[in-house]
Structure 1
Amino acid sequence: MSQRPPARLQITTAAPDPALLDLPWHVPLEDWPAETLAALPRGISRHIVRFARLSGRVIAVKEIGETVAYREYELLRQLSRIDVPSVDPIGVITGRTAPDGEPLEAVLITEHLSFSLPYRALFSQSLRPDTATRLIDALAVLMVRLHLIGFYWGDVSLSNTLFRRDAETFAAYLVDAETGDLHDRLTDGQRAYDLEVARVNIIGELMDLQAGDFLEEEVDAVAIGAMLVERYSELWTALTDAESFTLGERWRFQARIQRLNDLGFDVGELDITTDVDGTTVSIQPKVVDAGHHSRRLMRLTGLDVQENQARRLLNDLDAFRAATDRQNEDESFVAHDWLTGIFEPAVRAVPRELRLKLEPAQVFHELLDHRWYLSQQQGRDVPMTEAAQSYVRDILPYRPDEQAILGVSAADLHEDADVVPAPRRD
């Protein structure tokens, strides 16, 4: 029996973990043993991808050419440094050989994004009919954010994106950057090409879902593809277009900033110019940064959540402030009392065995929805503790685990979709 030759691995990583050496790098990725794998639902990929357990976390391993692996690794590191929604790179491993001495492809290792799912796994669940629209909205926001920082994607699609629940919407994360490129600034042609690739890919992906009975036939895939272009263009215009007004309308400075804040963006820098006679002023945002509400919630409470989750939690905080007649108190003191007296007890009401279902902020958002529904149904103001008991008993146990769906395929989820209780209410 031949001995496996000693591996001459080259591991490039910014976060060294000795446990990397324990994984079977001498085995082709498609043949990795089941005991090594975490059976998370996988999206469609042109490469072989496997999820594996490593030091108490889950990593994604993708076999890919060495040059492309290093290039994608560096691109993901750059995106991570500037806080763009994308998967975090762990490293690249080259020098792999099979026991018979046959060279194996290099691998790119990224960290699995907890509570995220590929679009096919989302459609395998019993979701609301407008799921496709909400995914398109999330992808449009991601594309705008990427284009604002000069990132050209090159292969935009639902397959190259992961989605996490964000209150009643989704947040999109770039998961595949191998065709991407980072520039100081994108041309209109580069942005238009990215949009056209996205439109065509999305139409094809939705038609594929229809062919597999994951999406109703009456859904217009072509119209949804066109919707991405429309949503992207609306947001891009709102964030980048110049606006002119007379000197007597200076209030429009703050109005423009407030509109951008409402969209979830902060204005880091404005370009302000006047005409020759000084009667007209033009303003154009030069630096915009997503995450207005999440940063405010982080500052007040320390909670690190998605943007629309933050918006919902801040609304509840504001309602708490009004209900306790504390509008004139320091906001940070009120926020502390809301966190310790409202948010944390509600989240702790979830039993430990159900905590992999959803992120705590998403649980709280759904608790608010459930409480509203019960109050409407019963004609009274249902206390949060009572709503939490009802939600934990009647709703949460039937939700799929979204932190890590181990051992469950997308097809299995699709077959079990009819056991999901009544849909969530707006």
Structure 2
Amino acid sequence: MALQISATNPEHPALLLDLPWQLPLEQWPEQVLVPLPRGISRHVVRYARAGSEVVAVKELAERPAVREFELLRDLDRLGIPAVDPLAVVTGRADGDGEPLEPVLITRHLGGSMPYRSMFETTLRPATMHRLMDALAVLLVRLHLAGFAWGDCSLSNTLFRRDAGAYAAYLVDAETGELHPRLSSGQREYDLDLARVNISGELLDLEASGALHPSVDAIEFGAEICERYTRLWEELTRTSVYPAGKYHYIDRRVRRLNDLGFDVAEMQIGHSSNGDTVTFVPKVVDAGHHQRQLLRLTGLDTEENQARRLLTDLESWMATQDDYAPGDPLAARPEVLAHRWVRDVFRPTVRAVPPELRGSMDPAELYHELLEHRWYLSERAQHDIGLDTAVEDYVANILPRVRGTLSDAVDEDTPTPPSA
């Protein structure tokens, strides 16, 4: 069988053709590989460079490779945080004509880390709680979309910094199933697998001496269930309010927005005697602040980053002479937002030398600069301004922080300014 590359983008096959498909993945030469940290996998996985892209290449049988490729494409269409599928390569053979396993190719998720790399420096419990929060949000988003993971674990997840918290991404969809709606039994099965898998992974870390001595592996495994259950109930529970108290419904919707979710559809009904109103959020879409920031500015960020940037944007808009909400002659929010990107966001990010940024994306870097300005302003007892904060951050913080996730994973707050 001739080599075949099935790709999502017509440009990718040409870039991928130069990779050494005639060799088993374990034998690929170092000149085509990229030395990035890898998590534990039942398959052989390597990072390689294809043109300007860094891709993850995983060897597995053709049927599961094609199935996972399609599932990842479905998750992408649903807006679920997961690795981006690029191609499936079949028809591989070595120099003697012997068949080699097909491969699934995904785009490397920039700035992400597998959990084992994060434990190279012992994570404090507060940091681990944030990882559990991120994983619980990911699992809830999957279940709301009708996706049963079938193997939720730390090993099958990548983590990225998100304005002091973390964002979790699904990296292995091999055991997943997509349904119109999940039953309670399907969700509970997924959740129980997550608890067992996470406890087992943490016990393994404990045996290797990489787990913080105060962390109980079994309790942290159970924590994912508690956090998932609280979030799921908040997103899906039925509320009963007194008739006429429609602002209660608005308050519930705002609370969901604060959690990063939009209510795309709702069901409202009156009781038979008209005394009460029943409210059920029927469709809840994640990424409320992401969509709002993207609509206003064109910036595509993580959810917590978007929330932080929107707060700064709103504060800046309030200082502008042509900002007058409700005035038809005033500048529209979109106009002011693009001015903020042009005059504030981009110049601030560009003021930090690229060689000092490490793997931080612009939104995370801007968040760090805002946090640093807050620390310096608290110390000075007045607002020191963003320009001064950038100068101090570049001079005193970045040289010793390096701006990489692996250097920052053990920090519960942004690095305080030097004395």
What TM-score results when the alignment is normalised by the length of structure 2?
0.92
Q: Which residue of 2 aligns with 1:188?
A: 184
Q: Which residue of 2 aligns with 1:237?
A: 233
Say which SS state the counterpart of residue 374 (structure 1) adopts: helix
Letter in 2 for 1:8: A
Aligned partner (choices 44, 68, 82) of residue 78 of structure 2: 82
Letter in 1 for 2:376: L
Q: Unpaired segments of 5 or more residues in structure 1?
A: 1-6, 404-409
Contact kept? 1:59, 1:111, Cα under 8 Å:
yes
2:160 matches 1:169: no
Say which SS state the counterpart of residue 61 (structure 1) adopts: strand
Aligned partner (choices 361, 373, 396) of residue 394 of structure 1: 396
Q: Which residue of 1 aligns with 2:64?
A: 68
Mapping for residues 360-379 of structure 1, pairs under 5 Å = 360-379=362-381
Contact kept? 2:371, 2:414, Cα under 8 Å:
no
Aligned partner (choices 4, 8, 16) of residue 10 of structure 1: 4
- Corresponding pairs, count: 408
Aligned partner (choices 241, 247, 252) of residue 243 of structure 2: 247
Aligned partner (choices 197, 209, 215) of residue 213 of structure 1: 209
2:346 matches 1:341: no
Say which SS state the counterpart of residue 395 (structure 1) adopts: helix
Q: Which residue of 2 aligns with 1:424?
A: 415
2:45 matches 1:54: no
Q: Which residue of 2 aligns with 1:3?
A: none
Letter in 2 for 1:424: T
The percentage of counterpart residues that share the same residue type is: 55
Q: CA-to-partner distance for each residue in 1:62-104, whole Å, 9 max, x for gaps?
A: 0011111011011011111111111111111112122233321
Q: After the TM superposition, which of the residue ranges 213-222 and 19-28 deviates more from structure 2?
A: 213-222
Aligned partner (choices 19, 24, 35) of residue 23 of structure 1: 19
Q: Which residue of 1 aligns with 2:113?
A: 117
* CA distance in 2 between partners of 1:12 and 1:190 (Å): 32
* CA distance in 1 between partners of 2:147 and 2:51 (Å): 32
2:145 matches 1:157: no
2:286 matches 1:290: yes
Say which SS state the counterpart of residue 293 (structure 1) adopts: helix
2:378 matches 1:382: no
* CA distance in 2 between partners of 1:402 and 1:46 (Å): 27
Letter in 1 for 2:366: F
Q: CA-to-partner distance for each residue in 1:381-416, whole Å, 9 max, x for gaps?
A: 22211111111222223345649xxxxxx8xx79xx
What is the Cα deviation at residue 323 of structure 1? 4.4
Contact kept? 1:12, 1:92, Cα under 8 Å:
yes
Letter in 1 for 2:193: V
CA 1:425 to 1:309, structure 2 compared with 1: closer, same or farther past 3 Å? farther
CA 1:210 to 1:398, structure 2 compared with 1: closer, same or farther past 3 Å? farther
CA 1:21 to 1:80, structure 2 compared with 1: closer, same or farther past 3 Å? same
Contact kept? 2:125, 2:215, Cα under 8 Å:
no
Say which SS state the counterpart of residue 236 (structure 1) adopts: helix
* CA distance in 1 between partners of 2:266 and 2:394 (Å): 47
Q: Which residue of 2 aligns with 1:135?
A: 131
Contact kept? 1:127, 1:423, Cα under 8 Å:
no
* CA distance in 1 between partners of 2:208 and 2:390 (Å): 37
Q: CA-to-partner distance for each residue in 1:198-254, whole Å, 9 max, x for gaps?
A: 011111212222333333122122221111111100111111111112212121121
What TM-score results when the alignment is normalised by the length of structure 1?
0.90
Contact kept? 1:13, 1:90, Cα under 8 Å:
yes
Q: Which residue of 2 aligns with 1:277?
A: 273
What is the Cα deviation at residue 327 of structure 1? 5.1
Say which SS state the counterpart of residue 248 (structure 1) adopts: coil
Contact kept? 1:321, 1:327, Cα under 8 Å:
no
CA 1:47 to 1:197, structure 2 compared with 1: closer, same or farther past 3 Å? same
Q: Unpaired segments of 5 or more residues in structure 2?
A: none
CA 1:391 to 1:125, structure 2 compared with 1: closer, same or farther past 3 Å? farther
Q: CA-to-partner distance for each residue in 1:325-384, whole Å, 9 max, x for gaps?
A: 745354333323322232122101111323443011100111111111122233332221
Report runs of 4+ in structure 1 exceeding 4 Å deviation.
Answer: 125-129, 400-403
What is the Cα deviation at residue 124 of structure 1? 2.5
Q: CA-to-partner distance for each residue in 1:257-295, whole Å, 9 max, x for gaps?
A: 111111111111001222223332211111111111111
